[in-house]
Amino acid sequence: MFHPLSPDLTKLTSEELTSKYSELIKRISISYRMGNADMVYQLQLLLQDYQTEMNQRNRKALEEMEKSSKNFKNIIDIQ
Q: Which residue has the higher pLDDT, 53 or 7?
A: 53
Q: What's the DSSP call for residue 74? A: T
Task: Give the residue extent of every domain in the chain.
Answer: 13-63
Between CA 34 and CA 54 the distance in angstroms is: 28
How does pLDDT run across 35-46, given as a tens digit for each residue?
Answer: 999 999 999 999
Q: What is the pLDDT of residue 47?
A: 94
Dihedral angle at the C-alpha atoms of 24, 36, 30, 52, nearest 10 degrees?
A: -20
Between CA 34 and CA 5 the distance in angstroms is: 23
How does pLDDT run across 68-78, given as a tens digit for each residue?
Answer: 777 666 666 67
